[in-house]
Amino acid sequence: MNFYTYVHNNPLTNIDPTGHYCVSNEGNNAHAGGCNSSTSFYLDKDKDFVGHPILINGKVYGFLGNNGNTINEAAHYQGNYWSMYKDDFLYIAWLTTDNPNF
């Protein structure tokens, strides 16, 4: 994902233009915005995931802010969405369907 393009070439605000929160099926990638892979799925609106991680290739790069922005960008450590949120019912529901867009 090209983050400059995604945030409309305005990296200082890092605002999510689509208002979605997407997670890859293996949990190594999670971000605000539309899903860009058939192995990822849209959980719900960003506003419902404030404080959840922005993950890129298994590393936490920050957390989703109130306005779709990224907060605490200094956080760079290993992470996996499904390990961090083991009880997320949306993942369990997604596993039981054949619709990749859930």
Per-residue pLDDT of the chain (102 residues; tens, 9 = 90+): 554 444 444 444 444 455 678 888 889 999 887 777 777 877 888 888 899 999 999 999 999 988 878 888 776 899 999 888 877 766 666 566 665 555
Cα 57 to Cα 26, 42, 80, distances in angstroms: 10, 17, 9
- Residue 87 makes CB contacts below 8 A (sequence gap 6+) with none
**pLDDT in the model for residue 28:** 92
**pLDDT in the model for residue 78:** 94
**pLDDT in the model for residue 60:** 93
CB 33 within 8 A of CB 6: yes
